[in-house]
Chains A and B, each alone.
Chain A
């Protein structure tokens, strides 16, 4: 046996041994990532206690997380879980806690105030929520109090709804080639404005459904050089409300990373529209819309579902205009809670700090999705 075979046999044996050791005595962090258990810090500090709670929530060990709370007598474990993931199906129902941050705000010998920021990984990207936890020292250990927000429930009832619904019948395979098909909805870009940002060019604009039927819409833009060669083509993806009822307007935003405006000679806009079966229900009131200046410039408000149908996911799009009425920015936020009838749900859309000073007015629209089909 030469030295090469000896080395190979040694490495093979060592690998098997390390795998066995790692399986039988896993490192806490590896076990936590595998979902087996959390990385537990000591609860001998207020920060450690909150960190432990965050770890249990991340591992979805609801029972253990609930057991760590100092104020668990005030609510049930189910209410605690519903507070985190929603009572009705919503964006958070199908999400996991990606990471969390713990930030001490105030501390004394017997109590502390700590902010727990939760970064949820959802199907539409990250959703961040923050809770301020009061932490108390009981004996030698610290226990957090969970600031539970009890979820509203809808009393059993019948809500009559008589809004319009549109259904579409397209031409059939047996029709003559000359037989007309149903016309695609007529849509029009009523505003378009390119903006240069640090990470590239952004096309902002608004699209109007000028037809009398609902439209499924999207917008693509192609940047052309001065010699009319194509630089790039991008679509609005989810920075648009895809369903437009008659005479409804949606903003759109299209990003072109790593492109500068000086390279662009012209822009070719292509609005796409298709007939879609849709309902005029639900109607969402967007109340208390308020622009907040810098620092932390944002648009806040609340969504009030005026219909009987529960909205599982709401997507709020804000269009921000300068004093001249020109679009200066489009931003959005997915609301992570279901919209129950007549129960206001707050939203907050952040505005880039450098653009906030130019914002004079805004217009907000909301796209809604209900289980059993998009609306």
Chain B
């Protein structure tokens, strides 16, 4: 359908130029705020057809020449450059005007990334806000946007950034404490909220203890925490390894309730070691 507009456009433009000298004219405002009502004043007499064409919109009205034509509010709402053609029995007149975004912000699109990251990362969280009016036209005028990142402990990071060409962005640090942060972008009463999960980092000071359990050895970690003291999440895999006379046994055990616990065959002289990802823990030599 869109591909027909250029042909229609060309046809109407040629017709308008052919009829320029025939006495019909119209007066348009230079700019119209998106969604606002406005009027078009025409000269001449008789009936004519008014066409208004712009980005994604075409209006057609049968009008009386010489009478002010009212275009109702909400009729034109996409910001951009519009062409108006007035086609009468004997002449055609053309003119143009701009529909500009409304001045008041009404919508905010907020992109926050990432949705999940480790604690203690400088500028690890970025937020980008795009400001729109009621009709989702991008507000190009500089507008201050407030970015606010708050975590459950009450720590708040706040930045106020003025939009440039309709967009504003800010970077925030992830804090040392794990939890679900609220990341809010706000302009006046319009706001948009995103959730950013701050998760523990790599285990720090990974340590296990060994004790006899019947014919087996029970290996139990201390509560596993990262370097900021956050409890490492359950499900994180801890690898226990027993090395004995060149033989090796390994168990990948996920943390449960903050600790990992396995039972492994007991050999006097065996060495037990522990690791999680690329982090090594302590070693225990088992003598019994």
Partners in one complex: yes
List residues of chain A with CB under 8 Å of any chain B CB: 162-164, 166, 176-178, 180-183, 190, 208-214, 245-249, 280, 283-291, 301, 306, 362-365
Q: Is B237 a contact of A287 with CB atoms below 8 Å?
A: no
Cross-chain contact A212 with B254 (CB below 8 angstroms): no
A-B contact count (CB 8 A): 103
Size class of B's contact patch? 35 or more
Contact B114 A285 (CB under 8 A): no
B278 and A212 within 8 A (CB): no
Q: How far is the CA of A212 from the CA of B251 in the complex (A)?
A: 19
Mind listing 19 A-B residue pairs with CB under 8 Å?
A: A164-B234, A164-B235, A180-B112, A183-B114, A190-B278, A208-B278, A211-B116, A211-B199, A212-B235, A245-B252, A247-B237, A247-B279, A248-B277, A284-B252, A285-B249, A285-B251, A286-B250, A286-B251, A289-B247
Assess the B249–A212 pair: CB atoms within 8 A. no
Chain A binding surface SS class:
loop
B269-288 to A contact mask, C-beta < 8 Å, 1/0: 00000001111000000000
Which residues on the B side are within 8 Å of A176 (C-beta)? 109
How far apart sit A182 and B194, CA to CA, in the bound complex (Å)? Answer: 11
Main secondary structure of the interface of B (DSSP, over half): strand
Contact between A164 and B254 (Cβ–Cβ < 8 Å)?
yes
> How far is A287 from B241 in the complex, measured between Cα atoms in Å?
9
Q: Known: A164-B256, A283-B251. Is A178-B235 also a contact (CB below 8 A)? A: no
Q: A178-B130, A248-B237, A283-B253 are in contact. List 5 more A-B contacts (CB 8 A).
A: A163-B254, A246-B254, A248-B252, A285-B250, A286-B249
Q: What is the interface of chain B, defined by CB distance below 8 A to chain A?
A: 109-116, 130, 192, 194-195, 199-200, 202-203, 233-238, 246-254, 256, 262, 264-265, 276-279
Q: Are B115 and A291 in contact (CB under 8 A)?
A: no
Q: Who on chain B is nearest to A364 by CB? A: B250
Question: Hey, which chain B residues are within 8 Å of A284, CB to CB?
Answer: 251-252
Q: B115 to A212, Cβ gap below 8 A?
A: no
> Among the interface residues B109, B113, B234, B250, which one has the most CB atoms of the partner chain A within 10 A?
B250
A177 touches B253 (CB 8 A): no
Residues of B within 8 A of A209 (CB): 277
